[in-house]
């Protein structure tokens, strides 16, 4: 979804790196093929490092609390799938994140991309 959204908005995905843990789902053939199709470099954390999964675990806790527990009960799988898509969209497009200066990730990313493309080239002498 993130790749589609960025491409749809005309974003530059060159040099994109996907960070993940070493979970078995990330070694699936279809997953690897999809990363190759999108020309994304896969990056996994170091083994036996307690920080490898910290961000994913923090997001998972928020997801469970804010959506699964607080917005249920769910009437079926389709109902839950739509709610998950809406939550992810809200989380990335409108939710204010304290670690990002109280702006949504999409806004922060756009600001970063604009700043990065307008930075003066480093002089080497």
Helical segments of 66-104, H only: 70-71, 77-93
pLDDT for 78-101, tens place per residue?
999 999 999 999 998 999 988 889
Q: Is pLDDT above 90 for 9?
A: no
Q: CB-based contacts of 40: which residues, under 8 Å, 6+ apart? A: 3, 13, 16, 17, 18
pLDDT at 122: 47
pLDDT at 31: 75
Contact (CB, 8 A) for 1 and 18: no
- Among 79-83, 109-113, 116-120, the range with the most confident prediction by mean pLDDT is 79-83
pLDDT for 10-42, tens place per residue?
777 777 766 665 566 656 777 778 778 887 777
pLDDT at 22: 59
Percent of the chain with pLDDT over 70: 71
Q: Is pLDDT above 50 for 74?
A: yes
Q: Is pLDDT above 80 for 111?
A: yes
Which is more confident, 48 or 8? Answer: 8
pTM of the model: 0.54
Helix, strand or coil, per DSSP, at residue 92 = helix
Q: Is pLDDT above 90 for 56?
A: no
């Amino acid at each position: 979804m993130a790749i589609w959204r960025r491409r749809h908005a005309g974003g530059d995905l060159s040099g994109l790196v996907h960070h993940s843990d070493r979970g078995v789902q990330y070694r699936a053939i279809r997953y690897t093929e999809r990363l190759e199709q999108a020309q994304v470099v896969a990056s996994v954390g170091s083994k036996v490092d307690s920080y490898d999964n910290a961000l994913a675990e923090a997001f998972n806790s928020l997801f469970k609390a804010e959506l699964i527990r607080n917005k249920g009960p769910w009437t079926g799988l389709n109902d839950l799938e739509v709610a998950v898509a809406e939550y992810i969209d809200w989380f990335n497009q409108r939710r204010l994140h304290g670690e990002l200066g109280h702006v949504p990730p999409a806004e922060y990313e756009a600001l970063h991309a604009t700043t990065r493309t307008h930075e003066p080239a480093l002089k080497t002498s």
